[in-house]
Amino acid sequence: MAPKLRTKGAEKLKEEGNIYFQKCRYAAAIHAYTEAIVLCPNVPVYWTNRALCHRKQNDWMKVEEDCRRAIQLDHASVKGHYMLGLALLQTQQYAEGIKKLEKALELGTGGNPTSYIVEEIRKELSKAKYLEWEHESANRLWELQTLKECCELALKERYLREDNAFGKAEKEQLEALGKVFNGAAKVDMPTEVPDYLCCKITLELFRDPVISPSGVTYERDIILDHLQKVGMFDPMTREPLSEYQLVSNLAIKEAVEAFLDKHPWAYRFS
């Protein structure tokens, strides 16, 4: 078949696949996209479209395979990196999955920072970082508990070997040992998020903080929504306010990032 005919046929199959996908007929869509791939295997969108169908069917192994192929063909594929990241998270490959999501966010923000997929990627990235912390925290706590039990057992056995009575001094040593391990465990315990790192309206951690002329910092999307739907005034001070008066608060943004680096559990609230 001539190249032009193959391209035309593949595009027609892709359109058919899109129609099937919209009707939630994922198996039929997969078949159509596969036929398009057979005709034109070097078109990355055919691979990401099929990966999306596999995602809907929770077939994450095939999602990973198709996305890796799409990225080979197009290193700037936002959907390729995004869905590959999600697939890796399914097998608890958190570090690698987070890298792919971060790459997808970087590529997506560079293209259209306000698109729906950028917001979706940002939410999944926050969730992934929280899951990574939760997984690592559970492992650390289990290791600490195991080590604590071994130390307590060794301490008790030492006194038994020496035919010593297990009296007040020995109990104090066990209590001191417990305090040491409890102190180590507190490192992974969530604390309160400082108020200044949270939007006054949503009470959630800032992602894109902007400051008004009155000195109040808001989440950009939230304050813009207020200006459009409620009125052109600062919701805290009631002073007149327009979108063009808002300035990115880089200091608060950096403070949030530093807080998240030190307290990954807080991604749950971002």
Give the strand pairing for 217-219 and 209-211.
antiparallel
Judged against a pLDDT cut of 90, whether residue 164 lies above it is answered with: no
> b/e map of 38-66 (b: 16 or more CB within 10 Å)?
ebbeebbbbbbbbbbbbbeeebbebbbbb
* Helices of type H across the chain: 3-22, 26-39, 44-56, 60-73, 78-90, 94-111, 116-161, 168-185, 220-229, 250-262
Average pLDDT of span 65-90:
97
| Sheet bearing 217-219, strands edge to edge | 217-219, 209-211, 247-248
pLDDT score recorded for residue 173? 74
Radius of gyration of the chain measured on its C-alpha atoms = 27
Could you tell me which of 37, 38, 125 has the C-alpha nearest to residue 82?
125
pLDDT score recorded for residue 109? 83
pLDDT score recorded for residue 7? 87
Contact predicate 222/199, CB 8 Å: yes
Cα–Cα distance list, 27 to 45, 47, 141 (Å): 18, 15, 44
- Is the CATH code 3.90.79.10 the one for domain 195-269? no
Contact predicate 14/46, CB 8 Å: yes
Q: For 180-204, how does the pLDDT look when each residue is reduced to its tens digit (9 = 90+)? A: 777 776 666 666 778 888 887 888 8
Average pLDDT of span 84-111:
92
> b/e map of 68-92 (b: 16 or more CB within 10 Å)?
ebbbebbeebbbbbbbbbbbbbeee
Give the pLDDT band of residue 162 (cuts 50, 70, 90).
low
Phi and psi torsions of 201, nearest 5°: -90, -50
Contact predicate 239/213, CB 8 Å: yes
Other CB atoms within a 10 A radius of the CB of residue 122 amount to 18
User: Which homologous superfamily is 3-122 in?
Assistant: Tetratricopeptide repeat domain (1.25.40.10)
Contact predicate 66/47, CB 8 Å: yes
Judged against a pLDDT cut of 80, whether residue 177 lies above it is answered with: no
Rounded to whole angstroms, how far apart are CA atoms 79 and 42? 16
pTM above 0.85, yes or no: no
Residue 211 three-state SS: strand
Tokens encoding 26? 């994922």
